[in-house]
Amino acid sequence: MIRKENLSHKEALAIYEMLHREAVALGAISHENIWEGFEVDLRIARAMGRLRRARETDKKNSRKVRRR
């Protein structure tokens, strides 16, 4: 879908700014501290990535054990 829409940088920025204003108006985000909670989200995302990699490693290792 993104490839089909050839938005210029100016058009994309205008859409972003409109969406941002709407999110502020709805109370979804605030101007006071837009980064509030970001560090927690980042830590969760990193942990989920490590879990995914660990599961993939476990799957590979269990296949090797079964083959023996």
pLDDT in tens, the chain (68 residues): 456 678 899 999 999 999 988 988 888 887 677 777 888 889 999 999 999 999 988 888 887 766 65
In this structure, the answer to whether residues 48 and 25 fall within a common structural domain is no
Domain enclosing residue 59, as ranges:
37-68
Tens digit of each residue's pLDDT (9 = 90 or more) over 16-33:
999 988 988 888 887 677
Q: Are residues 42 and 67 in the same domain?
A: yes
Q: How many domains does the chain have?
A: 2
Q: How far is it, in rounded angstroms, from Cα 24 to Cα 33?
A: 11
Cα–Cα distance measured from residue 10 to residue 17, given in angstroms and rounded to the nearest whole number:
11
Q: Does one domain contain both 1 and 27? A: yes
49 plus 66 within the same structural domain: yes
pLDDT at position 63 is 77
Contact 11, 19 (CB under 8 A): no
Whole-structure pTM value: 0.42
